[in-house]
C-alpha cells in the first residue's frame, strides 16, 4: 500500500497541490500552523474514516470556500488506483477508480493506513469510549464484516434505549422488551467474540513493541474488560430496573473497555507521560501489524508530531520498525541523524508543500532510517524485541477510532446497511485500472494540475506501476465511518 500522489484544492489551509511522496520514509517539516497535519489528514480521509482530529467535514473545507477536492493515487492490490473525494456542505462524495460510491464506507479497505497523532495519547488516560473506539476502528479495518455487526448492534441498542424511556411512561410496553434483549444479545455476542479474537492477536504484539520501545523495563499488558460477566442476557435482566429508571442500557459491548497495565499498574491512573506515549505507539504498531496480516499489504503509516517527545533510543526503535512501509513523519524539526539518508524531505510553509534538501552540515550517512541513531545509541542491555533496522515482526500502527457516540446517547451509526458488502461491489472490484486516464481527475479544477511536488531524489515513487506488483490484497481492511 503506497501513496503515489495526493492532489488537493480547497482543503483547510493547503494550497492547491500535487504531492508525490517516496515509497519509504517521508519527513515533513515546517513551523507551527503551516499545514503539516492538514497534509496527513487529507491522505487519511481516503481510509474512509473521519478526521483523526475529530474535525467535522465542514471544518475541512477552506474557510470561505464552497468545497474541498482531494484525489489520491495509490498502489494497492498489485495495481494503481485512484480515489476522489469531494467535501461540500458537510457531505462527502467519493469516487473510486471512476466509479461513484454510495458512501464513505465503500472506501473502507481500499486504502489502508494507521495514524498516530498527539490526540491519541488519550487512549491511555481517557475514558473507555476512546479505547472502544480504537478497538472498533481497528477491527473495521482488519475485518470489514465487523462494521456491519457493529452497525447492527448500535441500531438495536438505540431502539432498546428508546423503548426503555417509553416504558417509564407506558409500563405495559415492558412486554416487548425481550425481543430487543434477544437481538441485542445476539448482535452483542458477535462484537464481543470479534473483539476477543482481535485482542488475542493484537495484545502480544503491542507488548512486544512496548518492550522494544521501553527496553524491556516494564511490561505492557492489555486485556478485554467486559461490562457483563459472561452472560449478557442475565446481566441485562439484573440491570433492568435501573435501566428503565435512567432510560439507557448499562451493560453490553458498548460499555466494555480495554484494560491497560504497565508494570502491573493501571496505566490510566499511574502511567507517566513517556509511558503513555510508548504504550500508544506500541498499540499503533501492533494495530498496523494485525492490519498488514489481514489485508496482505503493509498499511501506510502517518506519524504526526511523534518524534520530538521521544528520546534517542525510542526514536531508533520507532524508525527501524517503519522499515518496509511507506511512512510520513511530521515535526517542526526532525532529528536528521534519525532519518538516515533515504528519507524524502518536504517543507510545508503557508499551506504549500515543497521538496526540502537536508542541510549541508547534517552530513548524514546513507542508510536506513534510524541507522545513524543506532550507532549513536548506547548499546542497551535489553535490546528491543526487534532488531533495529529490521521490520518488527509485528508491524505498525494506525487507525483512528470512529467517533463513537457517547455510550448511551446512541447516535445512529453511519455505516453500511445490513448485508451490504463493506468492501465494495463486485463490479467495482473488477474495475480495471483506468488505462488512458486523463491527467486531471474528472471534475477536478484545472489549478490542481500543477507541477507535482516529488521527493527530491526520486524519479518514480516506489511501488509505481510497472514495478513488480505487490501481492493482491486478499482481505479487506478499513477504517470506518461508523
Q: Which residues bind ligand ATP (CB under 6 A)?
A: 12-13, 30, 32-38, 59, 61-63, 305, 332, 348
Q: Which is nearer to ligand ATP, 46 or 75 (CB)?
A: 46
Query: Out of Mg ion, ligand ATP, none, which partner does residue 81 contact, by CB within 5 to 8 A per kind?
Result: none
Neighbours of 379 (CB within 10 A): 7
Strand partners, 220: 262
Closest residue to Mg ion, based on beta-carbon distance? 37
Query: Out of Mg ion, ligand ATP, none, which partner does residue 34 contact, by CB within 5 to 8 A per kind?
Result: ligand ATP
The residue range among 6-14, 30-38, 134-142, 192-200 that interacts with Mg ion, by the rule CB under 5 A, is 30-38
Q: Which is nearer to ligand ATP, 62 or 325 (CB)?
A: 62
Neighbours of 332 (CB within 10 A): 12
Q: Which is nearer to ligand ATP, 68 or 344 (CB)?
A: 68
Does the footprint of Mg ion cover residue 26 (CB under 5 A)? Answer: no
CB of 14 to ligand ATP, least distance (A): 8
CB of 87 to ligand ATP, least distance (A): 10
Helix 145-169 to helix 177-213 angle, to the nearest 10 degrees?
130
Q: Which is nearer to ligand ATP, 38 or 161 (CB)?
A: 38
DSSP 469: P
CA dist 455 and 20 (Å) reads 6
Within 8 A by CB and 6+ apart from 244, the residues are 164, 167, 168, 174
% helix / strand / coil in the chain, to the nearest 5? 40, 20, 45
CB of 173 to ligand ATP, least distance (A): 46
> Segment 201-240, which members bind Mg ion (CB under 5 A)?
none
Neighbours of 243 (CB within 10 A): 20
Q: What CA–CA distances, in Å, run from 326 to 22, 85, 300?
A: 8, 22, 5
Q: How many residues in the shown chain lie near Mg ion by CB under 5 A?
A: 2
Do residues 29 and 333 make contact, with C-beta atoms less than 8 angstroms apart?
A: yes
Do residues 37 and 56 make contact, with C-beta atoms less than 8 angstroms apart?
A: no
CA dist 11 and 50 (Å) reads 14
Q: Which is nearer to ligand ATP, 34 or 207 (CB)?
A: 34
Q: Which is nearer to Mg ion, 47 or 117 (CB)?
A: 117
User: Buried b / exposed e across 387-422, counting CB within 10 Å, b at 16+?
Assistant: ebbebbebbbbbbbbbbbbebbebeebebbeeebeb
CB of 291 to ligand ATP, least distance (A): 25
Query: Out of ligand ATP, Mg ion, none, which partner does residue 332 contact, by CB within 5 to 8 A per kind?
Result: ligand ATP
CB of 54 to ligand ATP, least distance (A): 13
Contacting residue, 9, 26, 34, 37, with Mg ion by CB under 5 A: 37
CB of 15 to ligand ATP, least distance (A): 11
* Cell triple for 45: 480521509
CB of 108 to ligand ATP, least distance (A): 24
CB of 168 to ligand ATP, least distance (A): 43
Neighbours of 383 (CB within 10 A): 14
Query: Out of Mg ion, ligand ATP, none, which partner does residue 63 contact, by CB within 5 to 8 A per kind?
Result: ligand ATP
Query: Out of ligand ATP, Mg ion, none, which partner does residue 425 contact, by CB within 5 to 8 A per kind?
Result: none
Query: Out of Mg ion, ligand ATP, none, which partner does residue 62 contact, by CB within 5 to 8 A per kind?
Result: ligand ATP
Q: What is the 3-state secondary structure (H, E, C) of 150-179?
A: HHHHHHHHHHHHHHHHHHHHCHHHHHHHHH
Residues forming the site for Mg ion (CB under 5 A): 36-37
Amino acid at each position: 500500500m503506497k501513496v503515489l500522489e495526493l492532489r488537493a484544492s480547497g482543503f483547510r489551509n493547503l494550497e492547491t497541490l500535487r504531492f508525490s511522496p517516496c515509497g519509504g520514509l517521508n519527513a515533513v517539516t515546517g513551523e507551527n500552523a503551516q499545514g503539516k497535519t492538514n497534509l496527513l489528514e487529507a491522505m487519511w480521509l481516503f481510509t474512509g474514516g473521519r478526521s483523526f482530529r475529530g474535525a467535522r467535514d465542514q471544518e475541512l473545507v477552506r474557510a470561505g470556500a464552497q468545497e474541498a477536492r482531494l484525489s489520491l493515487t495509490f498502489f494497492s492490490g498489485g495495481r494503481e488506483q485512484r480515489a476522489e473525494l469531494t467535501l461540500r456542505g458537510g457531505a462527502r462524495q467519493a469516487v473510486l477508480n471512476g466509479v461513484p460510491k454510495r458512501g464513505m464506507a465503500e472506501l473502507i479497505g481500499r486504502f489502508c493506513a494507521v495514524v498516530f497523532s498527539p490526540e491519541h495519547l488519550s487512549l491511555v488516560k481517557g475514558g473507555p469510549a476512546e479505547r472502544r473506539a480504537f478497538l472498533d476502528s481497528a477491527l473495521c479495518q482488519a475485518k470489514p464484516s465487523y462494521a456491519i455487526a457493529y452497525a447492527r448492534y448500535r441500531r438495536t441498542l438505540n431502539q432498546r434505549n428508546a423503548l426503555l424511556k417509553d416504558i417509564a411512561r407506558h409500563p405495559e410496553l415492558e412486554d416487548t422488551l425481550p425481543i430487543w434483549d434477544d437481538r441485542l444479545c445476539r448482535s452483542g455476542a458477535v462484537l464481543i467474540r470479534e473483539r476477543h479474537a482481535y485482542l488475542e492477536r493484537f495484545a502480544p504484539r503491542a507488548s512486544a513493541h512496548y518492550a522494544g520501545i521501553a527496553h524491556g523495563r516494564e511490561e505492557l499488558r492489555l486485556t478485554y474488560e467486559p461490562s457483563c460477566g459472561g452472560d449478557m442476557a442475565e446481566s441485562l435482566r439484573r440491570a433492568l430496573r435501573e435501566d428503565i429508571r435512567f432510560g439507557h442500557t448499562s451493560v453490553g459491548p458498548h460499555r466494555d473497555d480495554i484494560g491497560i497495565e504497565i508494570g502491573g499498574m493501571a496505566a490510566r491512573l499511574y502511567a507517566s507521560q513517556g509511558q503513555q506515549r510508548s504504550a500508544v505507539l506500541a498499540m499503533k504498531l501492533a494495530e498496523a501489524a494485525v492490519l498488514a496480516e489481514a489485508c496482505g499489504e503493509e498499511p501506510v503509516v502517518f506519524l504526526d508530531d511523534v518524534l520530538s517527545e521521544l528520546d534517542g533510543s525510542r526514536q531508533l526503535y520507532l524508525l527501524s520498525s517503519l522499515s518496509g512501509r511507506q511512512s510520513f513523519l511530521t515535526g517542526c524539526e526532525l532529528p536528521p541523524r534519525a532519518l538516515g539518508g533515504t528519507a524524502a524531505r518536504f517543507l510545508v510553509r503557508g499551506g504549500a508543500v515543497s521538496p526540502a534538501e537536508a542541510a549541508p552540515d547534517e552530513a548524514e550517512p546513507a542508510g536506513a532510517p534510524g541507522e545513524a541513531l543506532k550507532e549513536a545509541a548506547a548499546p542497551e542491555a535489553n535490546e528491543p524485541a526487534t532488531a533495529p533496522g529490521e521490520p518488527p515482526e509485528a508491524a505498525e500502527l494506525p487507525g483512528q477510532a470512529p467517533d463513537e457516540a457517547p455510550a448511551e446517547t446512541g447516535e445512529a451509526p453511519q455505516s453500511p446497511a445490513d448485508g451490504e458488502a463493506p468492501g465494495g461491489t463486485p463490479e467495482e472490484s473488477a474495475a480495471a485500472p483506468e488505462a488512458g486516464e486523463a491527467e486531471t481527475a474528472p471534475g477536478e479544477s484545472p489549478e490542481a494540475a500543477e507541477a507535482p511536488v516529488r521527493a527530491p531524489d526520486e524519479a518514480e515513487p516506489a511501488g509505481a506501476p510497472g514495478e513488480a506488483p505487490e501481492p493482491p490484497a486478499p482481505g479487506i481492511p478499513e477504517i470506518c465511518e461508523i
